[in-house]
């Protein structure tokens, strides 16, 4: 590697994980969730790779327009819905699908769309709050709002959706409660059966909640949505492959005596003589500043650990048991050899938080 830090994105692994999601979907259509710059992997390259997805899911209008300007002709779903009512006409003219999550947004749509002509009617996703209590309309409002939407000439179709708060804890009673609430809404609707969407990655992998649409996100990038201590649900159990490999370079090596402190605030103090390596990555690159001693890394084909506090541009690792390590060697922070999920568990940060936090100064290479 020539760069100080590089994130290598493996397109074949991305396609492999998409195929895994498709297998678990059992015939349901797939929304490939590529919001937040595809979880830090690169919005346009990931969209280009996942052309077999039925729909792309992004956060907001800005991401949708980046996709469209980049040449994407696939349908795009704006998952956070309407941020500013003045965006509605722009969304509508470009045919973007919108999540509706409050009664007020129906009034905004009526004010914006009742008096304009559109190239074609739109698809809306009506989000129900079945127990997560984040976004979504009350189930008691579902029938009324859905019927009003379907009566509009600018509506092509409505998809009912919800989001499970505890899908990453498959035994949680809240999952069954939310599913029951959601199915009650669907079954009580007096129109022809509506399409539905329930599962994101965790529910797709571990719960029985089949619906017309599934919304895999995290699993596409090779991470398990379940906690690291759940050995039976680590990424290998689902045949997921790491998409991002994050590497930096060994830029210095030094020997220290017992009792020496390493880095700021003496976070690490050696109890024996040690060989320490300094690595060219820090929190300005996106490696978490709160990482405690002992986070796993790989150098010269051997696992070792971080020691000391993460600096802006550097961190330190233990090379005592790796005499073959040399200045200039690549150090893997996560990837095939070191699971992103293991690093996340050690740092106390969610795996998708780690990849989303990789800064713009880190080079990205696509293979």
Whether residue 1 has pLDDT greater than 80: no
Question: Quick one: what percent of the chain has pLDDT higher than 90?
Answer: 94
The pLDDT, as a whole number, for residue 194 is 83
Six-digit token string for 235: 């990424």
Among 96, 75, 188, residue whose Cα is nearest residue 139: 188
Domains of the chain as residue ranges with CATH: 11-221 (3.20.20.10), 244-366 (2.40.37.10)
Question: CA–CA separation, 99 vs 266, rounded Å?
Answer: 49
Match 């990837």 to its residue by tokens.
335
pLDDT tens, residue by residue, 231-285: 999 999 999 999 999 999 999 999 999 999 999 999 999 999 999 999 999 999 9
CB 99 within 8 A of CB 80: yes
Considering the candidates 35, 39, 283, 352, report the single residue annotated as catalytic.
Answer: 35
pLDDT tens, residue by residue, 315-349: 999 999 999 999 999 999 999 999 999 999 999 99
pLDDT tens, residue by residue, 284-321: 999 999 999 999 999 999 999 999 999 999 999 999 99
pLDDT tens, residue by residue, 116-172: 889 899 999 999 999 999 999 999 999 999 999 999 999 999 999 999 999 999 999
CB 132 within 8 A of CB 104: no
Collapsed DSSP state (helix, strand, coil) of residue 5: strand
Question: CA–CA separation, 341 vs 128, rounded Å?
Answer: 30
pLDDT band (50, 70, 90) for residue 191: low
Six-digit token string for 8: 């290598």
Q: Give burial (CB, 10 Å; 0-12/13-18/19+) of 357.
A: middle
Mean pLDDT of the chain: 96
Question: CA–CA separation, 53 vs 75, rounded Å?
Answer: 10
pLDDT band (50, 70, 90) for residue 187: confident
Q: 137 - beta bridge partners? A: 128
Considering the candidates 12, 191, 254, 264, report the single residue annotated as catalytic.
Answer: 264
The pLDDT, as a whole number, for residue 2 is 74
Match 């990931």 to its residue by tokens.
46
pLDDT tens, residue by residue, 56-72: 999 999 999 999 999 99
Range scoring the smallest mean pLDDT among 7-21, 142-156, 191-205: 191-205
Active site residue 210: no
Active site residue 366: no
Whether residue 111 has pLDDT greater than 80: yes
HSE toward the beta carbon, residue 36, CA cutoff 13 A: 15
């Amino acid at each position: 590697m020539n760069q100080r830090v590089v994130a290598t994105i493996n397109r074949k692994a991305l396609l492999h994980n998409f195929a895994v999601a498709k297998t678990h979907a059992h015939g349901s259509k797939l929304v490939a969730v590529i919001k937040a710059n595809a979880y830090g992997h690169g919005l346009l390259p990931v969209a280009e790779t996942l052309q077999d997805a039925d729909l792309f899911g992004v956060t907001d209008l800005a991401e949708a327009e980046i996709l469209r300007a980049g040449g994407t002709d696939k349908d795009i779903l704006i998952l956070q819905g309407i941020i500013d009512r003045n965006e509605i006409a722009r969304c509508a003219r470009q045919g973007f699908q919108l999540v509706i999550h409050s009664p007020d947004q129906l009034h905004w749509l009526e004010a914006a769309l009742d008096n304009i002509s559109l190239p074609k009617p739109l698809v809306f996703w009506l989000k129900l709050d079945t127990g997560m209590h984040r976004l979504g309309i009350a189930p008691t409002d579902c029938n009324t709002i859905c019927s009003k939407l379907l009566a509009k000439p600018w509506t092509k179709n409505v998809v009912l959706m919800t989001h499970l708060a505890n899908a990453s804890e498959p035994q949680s009673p809240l999952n069954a409660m939310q599913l029951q609430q959601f199915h009650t809404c669907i079954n009580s609707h007096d129109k022809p059966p509506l399409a539905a969407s329930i599962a994101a990655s965790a529910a797709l992998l571990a719960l029985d909640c089949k619906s017309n649409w599934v919304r895999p996100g995290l699993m596409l990038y090779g991470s398990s949505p379940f906690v690291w201590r759940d050995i039976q649900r680590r990424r290998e159990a689902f045949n997921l492959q790491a998409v991002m490999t994050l590497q930096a370079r060994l830029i210095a090596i030094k020997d220290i005596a017992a009792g020496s402190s390493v880095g700021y605030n003496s976070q690490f103090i050696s109890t024996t003589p040690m060989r320490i390596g300094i690595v060219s990555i820090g929190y300005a690159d996106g490696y978490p500043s709160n990482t405690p001693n002992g986070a796993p890394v790989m150098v010269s084909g051997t696992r070792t650990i971080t020691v000391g506090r993460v600096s802006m541009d550097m961190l330190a690792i233990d090379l005592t048991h790796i005499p073959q390590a040399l200045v200039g060697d690549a150090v893997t922070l996560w990837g095939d050899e070191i699971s992103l999920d293991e690093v996340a568990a050690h740092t106390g940060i969610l795996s998708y938080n780690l990849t989303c936090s990789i800064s713009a100064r880190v080079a990205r290479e696509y293979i």
